[in-house]
Structure 1
Amino acid sequence: MLKPQQLTLALLINAALISTVYASEQSEAKGFVEDADGSVLFRTGYINRDKKQGDDQSSYAQTAIVKLDSGYTKGIVGFGVGAVGDGSFKLGSNNNHANEMIPSHNDGSAYDHWARGGANVKARISNTEVRYGTQVLDLPVLASNTARLVPEYFEGVLATSREINGLELTAGKFTKDQMSHQINTDGNHLDRAVVWGAKYKFSDALNASYYGLDSKNALDRHYVNANYKQALANGSSLTWDVSGYHTEFDKDASTYSYTTAANPEDRKNNIWAISSTYNQGPHNVMLAYQQNSGNVGYDYGQNADGFQSIYLPNSYLSDFVGNHEKSAQVQYNLDFGKLGVPGLNWTTAFVYGWDIKTSADTEAQEREFFNQVKYTVQSGFAKDASLRVRNSYYRASDSYQRNTYIGDTNEWRLFLDIPVKLF
């Protein structure tokens, strides 16, 4: 496998060789200041997890998430800088920090207020960009958790190249991982994570992707995906999506699922899913099937491999990724915008998982009933402000709960987002 320095160099050489053939983003650069972008997202977040076994986990806090990004300087090679960060405080007494919302002191008490963040530098030649520093990642094998109050931050280098029409290449190396509720910039003790991948748009209807991750002393992970949208009569459509992961855990990796592997270095699994979504006007109906095989669950996040690195359909409060688990889902989504109420959207889903292997059972099960309503303001002074209300009703076999998974839970999440553009 190529080293990260070689991967990055290869992308830059690729850009230099064909920059005269394809349209260049860098040739259209307006300048360091002229193309600058800055915004603040004011977020009020509330998560209430009523554990039915007696553990109430509720968190309520306010934050301001700042993102600043300069433009690129003009020339063959453009340079720029950026910064991301957040400043937060808890609301009310709110001493609970069990939902990865609020950081805690060494004595276990919750922070009253806190701030985090970092800077990055970037360079661009033709349609290839290299960025080094603190970043929020969105890769299937290394994705920052953005479902809490503030995002998860990674520190390292990431190169992205779009020199060939329809093809995007990615390569990077990261050495720090800071979870949403952590003050320490390397709270997850990441040694080294090397990522690489490609996605290609064959046509407006068909696209595919592959990504890989090598996390030192933790795991090797590979992801594939193919998505095809088929146009039908009367403006309707049918979308097929197939995706899957192959993971091999190192002997020192942390896995929270029950494993049937005789030796820690033998832990591995394959998890895949297929879904079909029918769209007709404001209505979307999805059916999905997901299956895990191997000798351990698809465990992610605990090895500093991104707390949102699960690009699979059966993922809500539970991800339905237990050892040997099979799961099926039916989802319905209604876009009220096409019914005269723009900005309003409702999603409901039911997922059932079975054949989960635990230390006490080979046929444990879990199920979740999920609902989410989101409204986004379409115009006026509050344009793009949104309110999202989400509820999950989750139940599982006693044997699965004893294996330290979620446990019977009723969960509410409320997030009010107010974005403000600075420049």
Structure 2
Amino acid sequence: MPKAQKLTLAVLIQAALITTAYASEQSEAKGFVEDAEGSVLFRTGYLSRDKKNGAADTSSAAQTAMVKIESGYTQGIVGFGVGVIGDGSFKLGENNHAGNQMIPLHNDGSAYDHWARGGGIVKARISNTEVRYGTQVLDLPVLASNTARLVPEYFEGVLATSREINGLELTAGKFTKDQMSDQVTTDGNELDRAVVWGAKYKFNDQLNASYFGLDSKNALERHYVNANYKQALANNSSLTYDFSGYHTEWDEGASASSSKLPVTSSDRSNNIWAFSGAYHQGAHNVMLAYQQSTGNTGYAYGENADGFQSIYLPNSYLSDFNGRGEKSVQVQYSLDFANYGVPGLSWTSAYVYGWDIDTATDNNAKESELFNQVKYTVQSGFAKDASLRLRYSHYRNDDAYANDYYMPDTNEWRIWLDIPVKFF
């Protein structure tokens, strides 16, 4: 195990044993049944990609019910609990052009009519340190579940989270199975072993920083850093500065997103970083971002056997602007209609332009994306918290990039109707 992982695990154990200066989460436990929660999210999803230059279009529509039931913790010095998570889905229509990681496919390429997935967890807590083992949806910058499809990606393993020191959150875990959104087998992505560790620290209400690491066996080692600072200004406005970046090194013999390098190369590496500044005033938010990738291969997320979401960078929509040597800039505008008498309605529009992409035939390939999203969430009444989200991307790139690495020119629609129901 790398030294960084050993150090993090040691700190987690030590932190669980020391007396802290603020309230213990476990001391406030009400009981196994008393703190139990159960809910179901009904989602109708539609994802369509109109691909240009002769590429086959893909389109999927389906309905799902995602269930989550979890007990509270038993009372005492050490609390214990259990939980289950899962989804049951069926396709809407024939789905003859299914794809996009929305619906599982049979060996002949036809879409499943219906399918179900899920698993359970056991959990324990002492003071402000929690350990969970079983099927989980992860939200870690180096190992993130894909939640941008009909149903989430599931990982199976153990995750420890400790908040013993005020403002500091430590994380360590190990996962051995990965089930992507469109897979029915529990380890469809054939994850060997992924060890994660990290820390987040809130210095004050303005400044936050974090670091996370990943060692994915026979694949790669990855490190992530982030710093975020919010500066309050006059007239209910603010400026937010954010820096984030990844460093990745591939194991010898592992696959990597570079047709220029032999697959047995042992020196593949990538650095990708981004800086953004956002101005917020009332209902309006404007963000500018610059992102750059360096190294002898591009940033790749699927190669460590996860579902394409572990890239916590600003220039990430349909494309992630993560090609080898790529530079990209973004301008984004968001509007909250609550200030105009329509609470729950929001709109985001962004344009991203990337250049200097190094491909097999061109060292200055380009790509661009125009992104738009409108979302409305019901604020009260019997349908409270139900939401409708419409997202559209207009993506274009050079043939050199499309042929060597990526998708062709594409117009994409995503439509999600979410209806949450709480049992208890």
Both structures adopt the same fold (TM-score exceeding 0.5): yes
Distance 1:234 1:56 in 2: 48
Report the counterpart of residue 103 of structure 1 in structure 2.
104
Closer/same/farther in 2, CA of residues 258 and 286 from structure 1, 3 Å limit: farther
Does residue 372 (structure 1) correspond to residue 373 (structure 2)? The answer is: yes
**Structure 1 residue ranges (4+ consecutive) displaced by more than 3 angstroms after TM superposition:** 2-10, 256-263
What is residue 170 of structure 2 aligned with on the other side? 169
Partner of 1:43: 43
Say how many residue pairs are matched.
422
Give 1:117's aligned residue: 118
> For residues 299-378 of structure 1, what are the structure 2 equivalents within 5 Å?
299-378=300-379
Report the Cα offset of residue 235 of structure 1.
Answer: 1.1
Worse-matched range after superposition: 259-268 or 290-299: 259-268
Counterpart mapping for 1:388-399 below 5 A: 388-399=389-400
Please identify, of 305-314 and 68-77, the stretch whose mean Cα deviation from structure 2 is larger.
305-314
1:290-335 deviations in Å (ceiling 9; x for gaps): 0000011101023314421000000000000000000000000000
**Per-residue CA shift, 1:39-68, capped at 9, x if unaligned?**
100000000100012311000000000111
The equivalent of 1:78 in structure 2 is 79
- 2:246 aligned with 1:245, yes or no? yes
- Report SS of the residue matched to 1:72: coil
What RMSD over aligned residues (CA atoms) do the two structures have, in Å? Answer: 1.5
The reply to whether residue 142 of structure 1 matches residue 139 of structure 2 is no
- Please, which runs of 5 or more residues in structure 2 have no aligned partner? none
Aligned to 2:212: 211
> Is the Cα–Cα contact under 8 Å of residues 257 and 299 in structure 1 kept in the other structure?
no
User: Could you say which residue in structure 1 is the equivalent of 2:266?
Assistant: 265
Aligned with 2:165: secondary structure?
A: coil
- Amino acid of the structure 1 residue aligned with 2:301: Y
Aligned residues of 2:254 and 2:264 also touching (Cα < 8 A): no
Structure 2: distance between partners of 1:261 and 1:106: 30
| Residues 255 and 263 in structure 2, CA contact (< 8 A), matched pair in contact too | no
How far off is 1:264 after superposition?
A: 2.3
Deviation at 1:11, TM superposition (A): 1.5
Alignment pair present for 1:291 and 2:296:
no
Question: Residues of 1 paired with 2:42 and 2:222: CA distance?
Answer: 35
Confirm or deny: 8 A CA contact 2:335 2:347 kept in the other structure.
Answer: yes
- TM-aligned CA distance change 1:14 to 1:38, over 3 Å: same
Distance 1:260 1:144 in 2: 29
Instruction: Tell me the amino acid that sits aligned with residue 97 of structure 2.
Output: N
Secondary structure at 2:95 match in 1: coil
Q: 2:409 aligns to what?
A: 408
- CA gap of 1:182–1:123, structure 2 versus 1, over 3 A, is same
2:27 corresponding residue in structure 1 = 27
Task: Say if 1:292 and 1:381 are closer, same or farther in 2 by CA, change over 3 A.
Answer: same
| Contact 2:278/2:286, CA 8 A, preserved across alignment | yes
1:84-133 deviation line (CA, Å, top 9, x unaligned): 10000000111333210000122322100000000000000000000000
Q: Please say if residues 211 and 223 of structure 2, whose CA atoms lie closer than 8 Å, have aligned partners that are also in contact.
A: yes
User: After alignment, is 59-68 or 96-105 more displaced?
Assistant: 96-105
TM-score (norm 1): 0.97
What secondary structure is seen at the aligned counterpart in 1 of 2:160?
strand
Unaligned runs of 5+ in 1: none
How far, CA to CA, are the matches of 1:186 and 1:331 in structure 2?
37
Q: Secondary structure at the match of 1:13?
A: helix
Aligned equivalents of 2:239 and 2:245: distance in 1?
20
CA distance in 2, matches of 1:185, 1:106: 17
